[in-house]
Amino acid sequence: MTGPLRGLALACRGVSFSYEEARAAIPALRDVSFKLGAGRSLALLGASGSGKSTLLQVIKGLDAPEAGEVLLDDVPAAAAAGAELRRQVGLVFQTPELQLFATSAREDVAFGPRRLGWQEPDVAAAVDEALALVGLPPEQFGGRHPYALSGGEQRRLALAGVLAMRPRLLLLDEPFVSLDPATRRELAKILLRLRADGVSLVLATHDVDLAWALCDEVLVLDAGRVVAAGPWDLGEAGRELREASRLREPFLVDLWRRLGRDVASAPRTVAEAAEALR
Amino acid sequence: MKPAIAQYYPGDSVVHRLDARAKFVAVTGLAIALFVRDSFAGLAVFAAAGVIAYVLSGVPAAWFWRAFRPLLWLVGLTFLAQVLFAPGEPFFSFWIFHFSWAGLEFAAFLSLRLLVLVLIGSVLTLTTAPLALTDGLAWLGRPLRRLRVPTDELALMVTIALRFIPTLLVELDQIMRAQRARGADFGSGGPIRRAKALVPVLTPLFVLSFRRADELALAMEARCYRPGLVRTRLHPLRAGIGDAVLLGLTVVVIVAGLLV
Amino acid sequence: MTPPSAGPSEPSAESVDGPTAPEPVAPLLDVRGLRYRYPGASTDALAGLDLSVAAGEFVAVVGANGSGKSTLARLLGGLERPAGASTAVACSHDLLSEDGRMAARRDVGVLFQNPENQLVAECVEDDVAFGLENLAWAPEAIRARVDEMLERFWLTELKTREPHLLSGGQKQRTALAGVLAVPRRALVLDEPTAMLDPAGRDEVLEAVRGLRAGGLAVLYVTQEMDEVVGADRVVALEAGTVVYTGSVGGLFGDGALVRRLGLGLPAAGELALELAAVGREFAPLPLTLDEMLVALGGSS
């Protein structure tokens, strides 16, 4: 890789989408609007079925919105000019097993770059780099069969398969589910590194503490509608909304409030918190 | 994403309440009679019986149509094949095709027969929960147990398959989406290229299904399931007077259809 | 997602879970030197594990992925055969014998992680009935028991719903109702909340909370350290053996062990360890926000 990655700016304007079901169309997204600056990170929160996964898939272009539009670097993604930008959006699905199919880790990760039409040496370089980035050194893991890896390793391999395509905006759907705490921390570190590299992130998760540690901004969905958006909303109104959508407040934010400190400057990590409280 | 078979429509009509075994026997009887009889008059009798049963079932026309529509292809195809290749004095010929009045009549008869069959069969599947149907079939197949055919296990197998069809479809959709997100293209290229694009889709689907089978087997064992066990049912099959009436009426319809 | 409409069922004395045995002397689950190796594996999944759980006790089991937690759950449920040298008794059935395992499957319920993969039937009530059907209960008795379970786990309104139309929490409650429909003496829960969203997790935890009242021995396997708080005892596994057994606070107080095992602390505990590292120590270790506030208030 040469030089740091630059993130894509993302905006959704009045995006609506419904699923066709047997008897009626079920709205999954209703008039969703928000903006995320280049290199910023967004936590997408909300209960199951609130539309988080759908929103990610609409942003990636797997589903076309019925109304509204997705903008990447201010270019409508559905327009001809947006096609190349859309290729720079990476989407990692929740279940790694859904995404792995090749007979070796290296081949699996190479799938995406080859679809981009890259030359073989470039593909190989991208694969090695992505495997190393997710903590699966290519010399050790490259030849392993994806299904012979542990759950946590599979999750990281699926992430590598997307990172090898060098996304400028990375969308992650529940990346922490059913990982043990140590593996969760590993994954969080990888995401922090990507963020430091300038990649824009959208992280759909139920883990508010990790979301707080990783994301600059927050978007809360409830039944397909945006109920809170922007910087972490720390006011009373925000609390009511969170209760309505059954969200807990991040531990450190809650602690800071209950200690009577300024919540706007609550620490992002326990290390920072300990430093402040020593 | 629904399988293209006549989907069960939950309801509480007279037809719904009938025992699955009685309905199955009645439909089988009618189907056999339908194929034995080769006159339009007989067909009309069976069609009338089918229509009456459908009306009594209270299944909305839209629901019925959704199940029925895909099968019209089959009917249309049968008609065409018969019209084009049936023997008889042709009134019009073109290349290898000969149109004759006898051929037209025969084609019309065969297609109508198929239509009536589909109608009668649909009433069964529309008004009978798949579970009740499999249980009914297992019961009717009991004599086969003597021949060491594991009918109850087969019935359970069908139940589980039905239970997991929607899950599998969702999973398939997710896998294809994950591949598309990495640049896969399922819509273009020749047949070989398209078939190749399916390998990355089917591999995870199989792997997941095998793991699912494994976990499911364990969960079933944990709930005391053992093959060959004599099981009871929460909803035992119960035949009543209605079912006797149904079978009686079926006999009447069959006799009438064969004699007119 | 539908939040439970009613509260959890009252823990009542006449709970039907298992006979009210007057002599609760012997532990319900008792294994010593428990060994197991998966066919074709090169190492033991369980390598001489000791554990016992008494009636009415709620024991949490923690450990990293691959430490043997799920294998333990399978063996205790009589679903796999322990290796020869082990002593393994579940509800006074010898797990080494085929007959003992079959009997154990009746008395020990096992709830698995993935709710999707444990529902067999086409609707909720048929699924809850599955175990009783296998035990050849009379249809009327099944009906009564199933209705009771539906009521207890707030599923009555969903009883004819197809599994694929349920939320994760509803699926897992259905699975739990199905496991407990068979009268049990012990219950092993293998990460029952791991695949659920917070609302689903709350639903299942609420359902789990009422369990030990009936004298049920509960073994709760989890990765979520918040869920460990409140257990009578916690057992930590590493490479198929028990490396800690004792109080919850005791485990979390041993920062080095917690790190080595790849466990996570509840956020409050994490912060407390971090504070200890910069010279501000608390004993006992605060594990909840409230305890942390008390500790901070008290020592400042």
Strands C241-246 and A10-20: unpaired
In the structure, what pLDDT confidence band is assigned to residue C180 with cuts at 50, 70 and 90? very high
Residue B182 has its nearest CB partner, among A22, A147, A165, at: A165
- Per the domain annotation, does C20 fall within a domain? no
A4-8, B41-45, B241-245, C37-41: least confident range: A4-8
Looking at the structure, tell me whether residues B75 and B196 fall in a common domain: no
Probe site for chain A from B59, B64, B182, B215 (most A CB atoms < 10 A): B182
Residue C272 distance to chain B (closest CA, Å): 39
- Please tell me which residue, A201 or B143, carries the higher pLDDT value: A201
Are A187 and A175 contacting, i.e. CB atoms less than 8 angstroms apart? yes
What pLDDT, on the 0 to 100 scale, is given for residue A237?
Answer: 56
One DSSP character per residue, C206-260 reads: HHHHTSGGGT-EEEEE-S-HHHHTT-SEEEEEETTEEEEEE-HHHHHH-HHHHHH
* Alpha-carbon gap, residue A148 to C184, rounded angstroms: 36
Is the Cβ of C164 closer than 8 Å to some Cβ of chain B?
A: yes
Q: Scanning the structure block, which residue is given the tokens 């195809």?
A: B77
Which chain C residue is nearest to residue B223, measuring alpha carbons? Answer: C131
Which chain C residue is nearest to residue A273, measuring alpha carbons? Answer: C271
- Per the domain annotation, does B117 fall within a domain? yes
Are A161 and B182 contacting, i.e. CB atoms less than 8 angstroms apart? yes
Probe site for chain C from A21, A26, A209, A270 (most C CB atoms < 10 A): A270
Residue B24 distance to chain A (closest CA, Å): 27
Contact C223 A247 (CB under 8 A): no
- Per the domain annotation, does B228 fall within a domain? no
Is the Cβ of A275 closer than 8 Å to some Cβ of chain B?
A: no
Residue C66 gets which letter from DSSP?
T
- Identify the domain containing residue B199 by its residue range: 151-222
Looking at the structure, tell me whether residues C187 and C280 fall in a common domain: no
Residue C1 has its nearest CB partner, among A47, A152, A254, at: A47
Looking at the structure, tell me whether residues B128 and B37 fall in a common domain: yes
Q: Residue B54: which of B21, B85, B98, B11 has the closest Cα?
A: B11
Looking at the structure, tell me whether residues C274 and C211 fall in a common domain: no
User: B91-115 burial, b if ≥16 CB within 10 A, otherwise e?
Assistant: eeeeeeebebeebbebbebbbbbbb
| Helix and strand numbers, DSSP H then E, in chain C | 11, 10
Residue A254 has its nearest CB partner, among C113, C262, C289, at: C289
- Per the domain annotation, does C197 fall within a domain? yes
Question: Please, what is the end-to-end C-alpha distance for chain B in angstroms?
Answer: 44
* Alpha-carbon gap, residue B36 to B33, rounded angstroms: 5
Looking at the structure, tell me whether residues B155 and B207 fall in a common domain: yes
Is the Cβ of C209 closer than 8 Å to some Cβ of chain A?
A: no
Mean pLDDT of the A180-186 span: 84
- Per the domain annotation, does C192 fall within a domain? yes
Low-confidence ranges of chain B (pLDDT < 70): 1-6, 85-88, 96-98
Distances (CA, A) of B97 to B84, B85, B107, C175: 5, 6, 14, 61
* Alpha-carbon gap, residue A68 to A226, rounded angstroms: 14
The answer, yes or no, to whether residue C12 has pLDDT greater than 60, is: no
Contact C65 A150 (CB under 8 A): yes
Beta-bridge partner residues of C59: C219, C233
Is the Cβ of A161 closer than 8 Å to some Cβ of chain B?
A: yes
**A60 chain-B contacts, CB cut-off 8 A:** 181
- Per the domain annotation, does B170 fall within a domain? yes
Contact B233 C139 (CB under 8 A): yes
Is the Cβ of C163 closer than 8 Å to some Cβ of chain A?
A: no
Instruction: Provide the number of structural domains found in chain C.
Output: 2
Q: Is the dihedral of CA B83, B86, B92, B97 positive or negative?
A: positive
Distances (CA, A) of B19 to B25, B129, B235, C139, C172: 10, 11, 11, 17, 32
- Per the domain annotation, does B66 fall within a domain? yes
* Alpha-carbon gap, residue A204 to A2, rounded angstroms: 29
pLDDT > 70: percent of chain A: 90
Q: Is the bond preceding residue B60 a cis peptide, omega within 30 degrees?
A: no
Contact A251 C267 (CB under 8 A): yes
In the structure, what pLDDT confidence band is assigned to residue C9 with cuts at 50, 70 and 90? very low
Contact B181 A90 (CB under 8 A): yes
What pLDDT, on the 0 to 100 scale, is given for residue C21?
Answer: 46
Mean pLDDT of the A248-273 span: 87
Are A52 and A225 contacting, i.e. CB atoms less than 8 angstroms apart? no
What pLDDT, on the 0 to 100 scale, is given for residue C16?
Answer: 45
What pLDDT, on the 0 to 100 scale, is given for residue C191?
Answer: 93
Q: Scanning the structure block, which residue is given the tokens 């969905």?
A: A221
Residue A98 has its nearest CB partner, among B2, B174, B180, at: B174
In the structure, what pLDDT confidence band is assigned to residue C239 with cuts at 50, 70 and 90? very high
Is the Cβ of B126 closer than 8 Å to some Cβ of chain A?
A: no
What pLDDT, on the 0 to 100 scale, is given for residue C17?
Answer: 47
Which of 1.25.40.340, 2.170.270.10, 1.20.1370.10, 3.40.50.300 is the CATH number of A10-235?
Answer: 3.40.50.300
* Alpha-carbon gap, residue C50 to A108, rounded angstroms: 41
- Identify the domain containing residue C285 by its residue range: 265-300
Chains with 3 or more CB pairs under 8 A to chain A: B, C
Instruction: Provide the number of structural domains found in chain B.
Output: 2
Torsion of CA A229, A232, A237, A242, to 10 degrees: 80
Looking at the structure, tell me whether residues B252 and B123 fall in a common domain: yes
Chains with 3 or more CB pairs under 8 A to chain B: A, C
**What are A34's two structure tokens?**
């928000």
Contact B182 A99 (CB under 8 A): yes
Looking at the structure, tell me whether residues C42 and C89 fall in a common domain: yes
Which one-letter amino acid corresponds to residue B64? F
A99-108, A214-223, C198-207: least confident range: C198-207
Are C49 and C66 contacting, i.e. CB atoms less than 8 angstroms apart? no
Is the Cβ of A277 closer than 8 Å to some Cβ of chain C?
A: yes
What pLDDT, on the 0 to 100 scale, is given for residue A23?
Answer: 45
- Per the domain annotation, does B6 fall within a domain? no
Strands A75-76 and A67-72: antiparallel
- Please tell me which residue, A168 or B240, carries the higher pLDDT value: A168
In the structure, what pLDDT confidence band is assigned to residue A170 with cuts at 50, 70 and 90? very high
Looking at the structure, tell me whether residues C103 and C209 fall in a common domain: yes
The winner for highest mean pLDDT among A255-269, C202-216, C230-244 is C230-244
In the structure, what pLDDT confidence band is assigned to residue C8 with cuts at 50, 70 and 90? very low
Probe site for chain C from B12, B234, B235 (most C CB atoms < 10 A): B234
What pLDDT, on the 0 to 100 scale, is given for residue A72?
Answer: 95
What pLDDT, on the 0 to 100 scale, is given for residue B97?
Answer: 67
- Per the domain annotation, does B8 fall within a domain? no
The answer, yes or no, to whether residue A250 has pLDDT greater than 90, is: no
Looking at the structure, tell me whether residues B29 and B101 fall in a common domain: yes
